[in-house]
Amino acid sequence: MDELAEAARLEPGDAKKAWQLLSAHIEGVDLPAWVKAYVRRSAVAVADYDLENGDQAKLAHDLGFYKEAEQQDGWSYDLDDVFEWFTDRMMKDVTDGKKISISRTAREYLDENRMFNNSPDGARKAYEKARKRHAERMASEAELERLLAERGV
């Protein structure tokens, strides 16, 4: 590897050349197999990358610099947004003469918000969590109003 580093120092190039050089010489280096596989995959991704018009976020993803977070039943949802969206949609359904269906509304929420990796069950659980939190807030506000009224405030 020291020879490669010295060669790179003496002959500056671009990222594509660097990845080609690494990929070409990685087999002779004492590194774990997963490192060698990563270098080979990365060299292909960089070689295929269009420097002028390429999507940098896609390249970063292809190189493994970031991954989308796994969606977990409601953890990735803004519960205030979920509650507002669900209640607005369900009120519209009632106005339109439809029966309220939380499952149908959950599917519509995912479709409309382009959350294709999430499951309707996760959206439904997020709504139920948001509804519970809203009820707790309302109860807390009512209790505060009662206490203030008792004190004459």
- pTM > 0.95: yes or no: no
Q: For residue 118, give Cα distances in angstroms to 38, 103, 105.
A: 29, 13, 14
Provide the pLDDT for residue 8: 63
Instruction: Give the whole-angstrom CA distance, residue 132 versus residue 117.
Output: 25
From first to last of its 153 residues, what are the pLDDT tens digits of the chain? Answer: 567 667 666 776 677 777 788 888 888 888 888 888 888 888 888 888 887 888 888 888 888 876 555 544 445 678 889 999 999 999 999 999 999 899 999 999 988 888 877 888 888 999 999 999 999 999 998 988 888 888 886
Instruction: Give the whole-angstrom CA distance, residue 116 versus residue 104.
Output: 15
For residue 30, the one-letter residue type is: D
